[in-house]
Each structure stands twice: as structure tokens, then as C-alpha cells.
Structure 1
Amino acid sequence: MKADLIYELLGKFESACYDYNGIECWSARELQIILGYAQWRNFENAIDKAKITCESSGNAVSDHFADVSKTIPMPKGAEKMINDYALTRYACYLIAQNGDSAKNEIAFAQTYFAVQTRKQEIIEQRLLDIARVTAREKLSKSEKKLSGIIYERGVDDKGFAFIRSQGDKALFGGFTTQDMKRKLQVPDTKPLADFLPTLTIKAKDFATELTSHNVVEKDLKGQNQISNEHIDNNKAVRKMLQERGVQPEKLPALDDVKKVQRKLESEDKKISKTTAKLNTKKKKD
């Protein structure tokens, strides 16, 4: 997500925040618009799901969702009262978690409401961390899919490991998996992909998906045919990266993605504990 979009969304969420009986809250009606829900009933469905999650997590719904009303202008100077909710940061987070994270507004909201600080650089880093964890999970699924396909075509576990290593060698310009581990100082017991940046993880994933597709499409069988296909696909992906000025083997290693994932999960668990609850404050006269 680009910095200017993050800045724009940050402004929208900050502007929508207001004080409700001494508690930092957001209007559900305003949040609906910011998150890109065209119809209120669809957004109410997301709210209902969030309430269920809230309750199942051991939190009282009334602590985070307050039924309120809102006045909207009508033609000829008239006004109309409509239903609304005052939502705590935790309530907003749960609503965002029930949305489509492929949408920028939803992905941003999931991070915005998860962190206690509103500093842009912290939000940016968390979005980058989430993107990397997501990419790594996707690569694992793609490799599992490929292994299932090639096992049916005469390749065993040892053969699959060989095919993957040949793919790495093609992607990293002659550096084998072990070479890259030494180069990036990755522990022998850890997968190389756990320490790669998001771009390289996605490159490996794309090449793996191409191999899965072409093995079936070309009806390839045996270790040699499939290995050659995987090498060609990784070379093609490498060429594409090089044309954009990227040398995969020269990109620096990052923190273990499993460690990053644990940090994100830990932050998520703290949200309900650090959010002020609606019924802990007495309403002002």
C-alpha cells in the first residue's frame, strides 16, 4: 500500500473518531462509508458477526457496541432519525476483521484499529508485516498444491526437494538453496523462504503456481520433465525481476516470518484489553 494512500486513509479514520461519554468511538454510519460498504444492511451484517466474535472472545457486547440514533437531513429542511452504533476501537477492529482484506480500506482498518498509536510509520510497518506473512502462507499453499500434483506423476519427497532446490538455483542466478542460506545467514533448520522479503516470496510463489499449471496442462511426468519446467519458470520470473532492476539474490534477509507472525498475533490479543469499555464510564448529563 502506497504511503500517500495510507496518509489519506489515516486522515479519514482520524476525522471519524469522536468522544462518546469519555470513550474514543467511531460512528457505524461513518465507518460504513469509509470501509466502502454501499448498503447499510450489508454493513449491519458485518456488525452482527463482530458482535458474535466479541461475545465468543469473552467480552460483553455492551462494552463495545452502543445503540445510538443519528439525525440526517431530508428534503425541504426536514430531518430523520436513523439507527446508528457508537463503536469502540475493539468493535471497529472486529468489524474490519470480518471484511475483505483485499480491499485497501479494509486492510488499512484492520491495522489502524489493532495498534494503540496512530503514528503513520507504525501503521505502515504493520501493513508490510501482514503482507509478508500473507505471502508466506500463500507460498506454503502453492508448494503443497504442487507436491500433490507431482506425487501423482512419479515424484517422491526426495524428488520434490530436488525440484524446489533447482527452482531456487534458477531464481537466484546460480545460488542454490544452501548457498542462499549461507549468504543470508539463515539457520540450517529454518526454511529459506521464512527469511526472504515479500517480493522474493511472491516471486517463488508465482513460479510455483506456473509449474503446477503447466505440469497439468502439458501432462508432464517424472522428475526430469517437471524439474526442467520448474527451472524454466523460475528463470522467466528472474528475467522479469531483472528487467525491473531487481536481483533476487541481492535482496537482504528479513526477520523470521514466524517471529513476525507471532508478534502480530500478540498485538491482536491485546486489543480488547487496551480498549476502554463503554459501560465503564458513566454517561454525562
Structure 2
Amino acid sequence: MMKLTPKENTVFEQIKHTDEAGNEFWSAREISKVLEYAEYRNFKPVIKKAKEACKNSGQPTENHFVDFHEMVKIGSGAERSFDDGVKLSRYACYLIVQNADPSKEVVALGQTYFAVQTRLQEIHQMDAYNRLNTESEKRLFLRNEMTKHNMQLAAAAKNAGVVAPVDYAIFQNHGYMGLYGGLDAKDIHQKKRLKKSQQILDHMGSTELAANLFRATQTEEKLKREDVKGKQKANQTHLEVGKKVRKTIQDLGGTMPENLPVADSIKKLEKGSSKIQRKGSE
């Protein structure tokens, strides 16, 4: 299980609440203070933008933004009643920090923290993923997810202006360079002693696949959210996201992806899985 740095625990985990049903939530008013908004009224437009993003993503806003009557300590043990309190889910917090002032260091920290935690939560909440017991099963699942999201990433990159195959290869290299500490696809092949004909993704274990899946999904979302236009900006976006994922792995004490062991070709696992499925259907 991943460990959070003390700073991340203090800033975000320590202000997390749990309701009577055991559901976690954050107070929008408390989040606004952590994100260094002096006045709560200046934070309300951020909440509004986050609600719009939630709606646009197809999620019911009422599941993630819940209005409630909030009692807030104002000093000397006294409390004051506020009618404009909002309970935020983890996903709502993720949308909040994506729409907050990006020039603030704590906002950048929040973007990484909630993005990682939200994605991990999504993966672990997947019934299909929770039924997996072996490393092989997890690899197959994540490799299929990677294939699906790479297609979506390609579509987002094309919308940004990355059209020609050679340009898309350069775009992908920027993502790899961010995540792998400056190594591009060719360098990764050499580092892991893979042949030119062997696909990097086919020889990743589940941990490395998860890191790359996170890189792909977050880049896709960022390209769309910020309506990035132009090949250079798209490349820079992919590079920056890769760097953030790498920094998160480092902060959590994980192994850098270029140092993770090379796995056997996933093609072998796919063949084995197909045989089992055929036998089961006979």
C-alpha cells in the first residue's frame, strides 16, 4: 500500500471528516483555508466551476457537492452557524483543486494528491479489479485499460493539433521523458534491454502499467480541460504530467519506473487467458 508523505497527511488527510454512515468528506470552507483563500466568498466561484466540471463529466453533482448547515469555531471556543457549507467528496476536491489558483504551491500539491488518490480509488472500486488475485491478472487488466486510454489520449492529442504519426510519436516520447526522468522510448528500450520490435507496455509489471495509465488519463484530461492547442503545448503538457507522476512516485517512496523489473511479454499471458476462456466455454 502506498504511503503518503507527512506533509500530504497534514494538509489534506487531517481535515478529512467521516459522517455517521462512514462516508468520507471534506468541508469546502476548510479546504478554502488550506488553499490559501483569505475570504470564503472568493472561493465560491471555484466551487461553481468544479460543479460545472462534475456535470460535464457525467457525474451527478448532488453525489459530490452536498449543501449543509455548518458550525464553525470563531475563537474562544465559540461557534457560529453558516448556511452555505458544502460537503465535498474526494472527487469534488479533485475538481476543486483543478479549478483553483494554479500559482499557489499548495494548489499544485493538492492537484497531485487528489488526482493520485482519486485514480487509485477508482481502480480499487472497480469490481473487475477487486476480483483479481494474481500479478498476471492485474497486468492483463491494466494493459487493456492502457490500450483503451491510449486511444482516448490520441484523440485528445489530435484535437490539440498532434495529427501526423511522427508528431504523435514525439508527443508520446514527451510523456515517457517526464515519467522516466528524461528517457525517451529508445532509451527505455536500451535501459530494459528490449528489442526494437518489443513494445514497452507489453513488458511492464502492474506497478509500472498503473503509473503509465495514470500519466495517460491525466494528460488526456488536462488537454481537454485546458483546451490545449498546438503541438508544442501538447508535448509540454504531456511532459509536465509525466514529471508530476514521477514526483508523486518519489514522494511516496516508490521505485522509479525505469528501475522496475522487466516482465515477460504480455502476449503470452493473453494467449494463456484465451485458452482458458475457450476451455471454459466448451
TM-score, normalized by length of structure 1? 0.51
Distance 1:103 1:171, change over 3 A: closer
Query: 1:79-228 maps to which residues of 2 (within 5 A)?
Result: 101-102=127-128, 104=130, 107=131, 124=133, 127-156=134-163, 157-228=165-236
Structure 1 CA distance for aligned equivalents of residues 234 and 171 of structure 2: 7
Residue 240 (structure 2) pairs with residue 232 (structure 1): yes
The code of the aligned residue for 1:132 comes to R
The code of the aligned residue for 2:274 comes to E
| Contact kept in structure 1, 2:171 and 2:235, CA below 8 Å | yes
Secondary structure of the structure 1 residue equivalent to 2:270? helix
Structure 2 CA distance for aligned equivalents of residues 252 and 128 of structure 1: 13
Residue 240 (structure 2) pairs with residue 241 (structure 1): no
Secondary structure of the structure 2 residue equivalent to 1:200? helix
Distance 1:263 1:103, change over 3 A: closer
Structure 2 CA distance for aligned equivalents of residues 190 and 267 of structure 1: 25
Task: Quote the residue 1:267 is aligned against.
Answer: 276
Structure 1 CA distance for aligned equivalents of residues 211 and 139 of structure 2: 12
CA shift at 1:103, angstroms? 6.7
Please say which structure displays the higher CA radius of gyration: 1
The code of the aligned residue for 1:164 comes to Q
Structure 2 CA distance for aligned equivalents of residues 215 and 209 of structure 1: 10
Structure 2 CA distance for aligned equivalents of residues 249 and 204 of structure 1: 12
Structure 1 CA distance for aligned equivalents of residues 261 and 246 of structure 2: 16
Deviations 1:31-59 (A, max 9, x none): xxxxxxxxxxxxxxxxxxxxxxxxxxxxx
CA shift at 1:268, angstroms? 2.8
Structure 2 CA distance for aligned equivalents of residues 242 and 248 of structure 1: 10
CA shift at 1:186, angstroms? 1.7
| Contact kept in structure 1, 2:178 and 2:242, CA below 8 Å | yes
Structure 2 CA distance for aligned equivalents of residues 192 and 272 of structure 1: 32
Secondary structure of the structure 2 residue equivalent to 1:152? helix
Structure 2 CA distance for aligned equivalents of residues 210 and 135 of structure 1: 15
Structure 1: which 5+ residue stretches go unaligned? 2-99, 109-123, 274-285
Distance 1:224 1:264, change over 3 A: same
TM-score, normalized by length of structure 2? 0.52
Structure 2 CA distance for aligned equivalents of residues 250 and 160 of structure 1: 26
CA shift at 1:255, angstroms? 0.6
Distance 1:230 1:272, change over 3 A: closer
Residue 261 (structure 2) pairs with residue 252 (structure 1): yes
The code of the aligned residue for 2:276 comes to E
Structure 2 CA distance for aligned equivalents of residues 158 and 221 of structure 1: 18
Query: 1:25-64 maps to which residues of 2 (within 5 A)?
Result: none
Structure 2 CA distance for aligned equivalents of residues 153 and 166 of structure 1: 15
CA shift at 1:208, angstroms? 1.1
Question: What percent of counterpart residues are identical?
Answer: 25
Distance 1:221 1:263, change over 3 A: same
Q: How many residues align?
A: 156
CA shift at 1:271, angstroms? 3.8
Secondary structure of the structure 2 residue equivalent to 1:102? helix
CA shift at 1:128, angstroms? 1.6
Secondary structure of the structure 2 residue equivalent to 1:188? coil
CA shift at 1:260, angstroms? 1.1
CA shift at 1:236, angstroms? 0.6
| Contact kept in structure 1, 2:139 and 2:206, CA below 8 Å | yes
Secondary structure of the structure 1 residue equivalent to 2:273? helix
